Amino acid sequence: MVREALNPAGAAQAIGPYSPALRVGNLLFLSGSIPIDPATGQLLTGDITEQATRVMENIGALLEAGGGSYRHVVKTTVFLTDMNEFAAMNQVYAKYFAAPYPARATVQVSRLPRDCRIEVEVIAVLD
């Protein structure tokens, strides 16, 4: 089975020993994306709307690099440090997907890398 790591120049770079995205056959697995500005490598500070938007833009860059788009996403997991921010996150999230929406789990966690507010991981099935 061929495994191809994707680490495109225009996407946020990994902050540890992992691949931001891994293509295996027609499956594309995206590691958890946090609100890293790909131009600076720095964490985007701001409210959940700003952070969620940056995360979704980072995911879009990885999907494109893997030959996919948001329409290929079948499963996401959203990690929030404050479930009270669910509604605001959901408004941003909804801008990137159309029906039929991917399956999703959303969980509250005590802490995320670099103390960000949100992290999202994705699985996509490519054509």
Select from 45, 3, 8, 50 the least CA-distant residue to 23: 3
Q: Which two tokens stand for residue 8?
A: 């495109």
Looking at the predicted structure, is the pLDDT value of residue 30 above 90?
Answer: yes
Give the lowest-confidence range in 3-7, 24-28, 69-73, 99-103: 3-7
| CATH classification of the domain holding 111 | 3.30.1330.40
- Between CA 50 and CA 42 the distance in angstroms is 14
What is the domain count for the chain? 1
Q: What's the rounded mean pLDDT across residues 37-57?
A: 96
- The full 3-state SS of 50-95, as one line of letters, equals HHHHHHHHHHHHHHHHCCCCHHHEEEEEEEECCHHHHHHHHHHHHC
Query: What is the residue range of 48's domain?
Result: 3-125
Looking at the predicted structure, is the pLDDT value of residue 55 above 90?
Answer: yes
